[in-house]
Structure 1
Amino acid sequence: MEIEIATLGGYEEVGRQMTAVRAGEDIVIFDMGLNLSKVLIHDNVETESMHSLDLIDMGAIPDDRVMSELEGDVQAIVPTHGHLDHIAGIPKLAHRYDAPIVGSPYTIELVKQQIADEGKFQVDNDLVKMKAGGTMAIGDSEQVEMEFVNVTHSIIDAINPVLHTPEGAVVYGLDKRLDHTPVIGDPIDMDRFREIGRQDEGVLCYIEDCTNAGRKGRTPSESYAKKHVEDTLTSMEDYSGGIVATTFSSHIARVKTLVEYAREIGRQPVLLGRSMEKYSGTAERLDFVDFQGDVGMYGHRKSVDRAFKRIMKEGKGNFLPIVTGHQGEPRAMLTRMGRGETPYEIENGDKVVFSASIIPEPTNEGQRYQSEQLLRMQGARLYDDIHVSGHLREEGHYEMLDALQPQHLIPAHQTLKGRSPYVDLATSQGYKLGRDVHVTQNGSVIQLAE
């Protein structure tokens, strides 16, 4: 059976992930993401009302024109998890393909909301929920099957899809860390990865996220981050002024931890910001998390400002706002607070806890710097990087190679420079660049079996 892999997005940058795998006459697309930094450099851009071609020209979503070169029919569009760099291109591109969108339950709920917000295209693709451990037939040949393997990442309900073909399995490995003690959900299913690596024809190809490939050691568990949050917040227990925390709004496990330790130090947690309300509200509605007790969630500006007025009236020392804006996004809640555009008054000595790292991209780094300076000018004390990454470091990559023993490797989710540490790592394990390690670009097609 002919196996081809089209690398459409995420092979020259961190963002706008999209990869297509053709097995015979059947094609499966993995991810359709957005490169948010390409949007943020423009003022007041509303992607919902923009045409896909304009977004492609901006470098914001994948250029999928190479799909016309693949001889087959798209049978499924598979987002691996709910981060925008994996799902936010779906409203702009999915309608071009007569195929269902298949994902885990939480991911599909987030995709549904993305589609509902779309203002330019009508997206009528069927939405299919499949849990980790589930399988589905691809096409009519009965020779190709897709499986979801449970992985752990900085968002709940993440999976790695595996396409089983007569030539071996194609494992799409974006994004994960090897977390055996997660705060929410099941540990990564390494037993299943080992089985896949040793059954039938083994693994033909492994497509891997290289975000932290150059960092030594292993990525700590989310339970480690929970301890870090506990240590940070309990150290502030006797402080009577304002404490504000910010994290990725999609990081439900971290939000849960912040809520828990806010209460531990005698403060009422309040979730503020449109995306904070969306992700946490969806997770609670689907029973992925129970915040217990009264947790206010406010997304719209008027309701957020009312919440801030209540906090100021009843005393900042009684509350812990958990807000958007850890990357310094211009319209996010923490940035507005730093500019003095909310009723919440930051005073000398108030604490701001960044339970997130800076996404390593110049736009984010510049915006975060500006946000920090605005907060410092008002006298805020900053607590940085109370966080663990959602991506593998060196030891995790070694463990995945040992588990899967793939014939071919395709490094992804990084610039050319960012992928080079993974190439070095693979070379140390006996792989060879140009023979079985394929460093590719957006818009390329790699043939693995004829």
Structure 2
Amino acid sequence: MDIEIATIGGYEEVGRQMTAVRAGDDIVVFDMGLNLSKVLIHDNVQTERMHSLDLIDMGAIPDDRVMSDLEGDVKAIVPTHGHLDHIGAIGKLAHRYDAPIVASPYTLELVREEINDEGKFAVDNDLVEMDAGETMAIGDRCELEFVNVTHSVIGAINPVLHTPEGAVVYGLDKRVDHTPVVGDPIDMQRFREIGREGDGVLCYIEDCTNANRKGRTPSEAVARRQLKDVMHSMEDWDGGIVATTFASHIARVKSLVEFADDIGREPILLGRSMEKYSGAAERIGAVTFPDNLGMFGHRKSVDRSLERVMNEGKENFLPIVTGHQGEPRAMLTRMGRGETPYDIEDGDKVIFSAGVIPEPTNEGQRYQSEQLLRMQGARIYDDVHVSGHLRQEGHYQMLDALQPQHVIPAHQDMEGFSGYVSLAKSRGYTLGRDLHVTSNGNTIQLVE
């Protein structure tokens, strides 16, 4: 059976992930993501109202025209998890393919919201829910399997396409976490089984975000302990405390809510994406929040909540807000610019329970946001966080488990691939033979 990989997006940057695997006449598409930094550098861009071709020209979504070179039919569109760099282009591209969107329950809930928000195209693809550990047929000779992984969003999976030539494992995004705060641990046993059953693993496509970093990525349990230590150290502070994290990081939001109660403050979730992600997690029963937890996304309701905080005393509340990357229209950035009813005063604490995404736009915006906050007297608690991506020891662990015949680095630029290339070469892989460093818009023929 012919096996061909189209590396459509995410092979020259962190963002706009999209990969297609053709096995004979059947094609599976993994991810349809957005490169948010290409959007944020423009003022007041509303992607939901834009045409896909304009977004392609901006470099914001994958240029999927290479799909016309693949001889076959798309049988499934499979987003691996709910981050926008993996699902943010579904509203723009999915309608081009007569195929269902297959995802884990939480990811599918977020996909529904993306489709509902889309203002330019009608997306009528069937939505199929599949849990980790389940499988579905792809054509007559292939099978799709979901393997549970741990990441900085719940419901993450690594999809595996089982073909007569061996398995193709799409390894974006994950860390090896045996003690997650929400959800099940990564299923390393299943990865080891896949590496040793049948014809083994034909190809492994791997996220290289932290491949230049030594050691292993700590568990979310480590971040939870770190966050608890920071917040309990503020127990006697009688001024304002504000926290920010990834809205999609439900485990971290859950910890913030719990520790706010521990130190006698009422948590409030503020910002459109904070309401979106936490509300979706609660609707599907993935997490339980206190009945009285406020979630406010619209500007007027957010401002009313902050007016209440100011009237009743900042010392009684913990606003948990968007803006950890310094996004210009996010809540924390607006606070720093003095555009909300919340007054940041000398000595007030701001907890960044998030790292800076390693990309120049984010780094610049985050720096600006922190400077605005400091100018008002805020004290910054930085990087109370662990990454959702593998470091080098995790990559070694995955290669040892899967023992793939071919490896394709993804989710980075050429500089970001360098660490992974070195460690893969140390495991016996050779550039141009079975280690394929590629770019957007290319195809790699694995089996003819």
Q: TM-score range by the shorter chain?
A: over 0.9
SS of the residue 1:177 aligns to = coil
Who is 2:249 aligned against? 251
After TM superposition, give the deviation of residue 167 of structure 1 in Å: 0.3
Who is 1:443 aligned against? 441
SS of the residue 1:424 aligns to = helix
Q: Distance in 2 between matches of 1:278 and 1:39?
A: 20
Unaligned stretches of 5+ in structure 2? none
SS of the residue 1:284 aligns to = helix
Q: Distance in 2 between matches of 1:46 and 1:320?
A: 30
Q: Distance in 1 between matches of 2:49 and 2:297?
A: 21
Q: Distance in 1 between matches of 2:258 and 2:226?
A: 13
Q: Distance in 2 between matches of 1:291 and 1:112?
A: 22
Number of corresponding residues: 448
Q: Distance in 1 between matches of 2:43 and 2:320?
A: 26
Unaligned stretches of 5+ in structure 1? none
Who is 2:81 aligned against? 81
SS of the residue 2:268 aligns to = strand
Who is 1:431 aligned against? 429
After TM superposition, give the deviation of residue 211 of structure 1 in Å: 0.2
Segments of 4+ in structure 1 off by > 2 A? none
Among 171, 193, 198, the residue aligned to 1:200? 198
Who is 2:209 aligned against? 211
SS of the residue 2:401 aligns to = helix
Letter in 2 for 1:237: E
SS of the residue 2:77 aligns to = strand
Who is 1:25 aligned against? 25
1:222-256 deviations in whole A, cap 9, x for unaligned? 00000000000000000000000000000000000
Q: Distance in 1 between matches of 2:145 and 2:367?
A: 42
Q: Note the 1:14-413 alignment, pairs <5 A.
A: 14-139=14-139, 141=140, 143-413=141-411
Q: Distance in 2 between matches of 1:37 and 1:269?
A: 30
Identity of paired residues, percent?
79
1:355-391 deviations in whole A, cap 9, x for unaligned? 0000011111111111111100100000000000000
Letter in 1 for 2:127: L
Q: Distance in 1 between matches of 2:352 and 2:73?
A: 45
SS of the residue 1:403 aligns to = helix
Q: Distance in 2 between matches of 1:418 and 1:317?
A: 43
After TM superposition, give the deviation of residue 292 of structure 1 in Å: 2.4
SS of the residue 1:136 aligns to = strand
SS of the residue 1:406 aligns to = coil
After TM superposition, give the deviation of residue 322 of structure 1 in Å: 0.2
1:327-355 deviations in whole A, cap 9, x for unaligned? 00000000000011100000000000000
SS of the residue 1:29 aligns to = strand
Q: Distance in 2 between matches of 1:347 and 1:23?
A: 60
Who is 2:13 aligned against? 13
SS of the residue 1:145 aligns to = strand
After TM superposition, give the deviation of residue 70 of structure 1 in Å: 0.4
Q: Distance in 2 between matches of 1:308 and 1:44?
A: 24
SS of the residue 1:115 aligns to = helix
TM-score, normalising length: structure 2? 1.00
Letter in 2 for 1:290: T
Q: Distance in 1 between matches of 2:384 and 2:151?
A: 16
After TM superposition, give the deviation of residue 293 of structure 1 in Å: 4.2
Q: Distance in 2 between matches of 1:419 and 1:373?
A: 32
Letter in 1 for 2:313: G
Q: Distance in 1 between matches of 2:67 and 2:356?
A: 34
SS of the residue 1:244 aligns to = strand
After TM superposition, give the deviation of residue 113 of structure 1 in Å: 0.4
1:302-336 deviations in whole A, cap 9, x for unaligned? 00001001000110000000000010000000000
CA-atom RMSD in angstroms: 0.5
Letter in 2 for 1:351: K
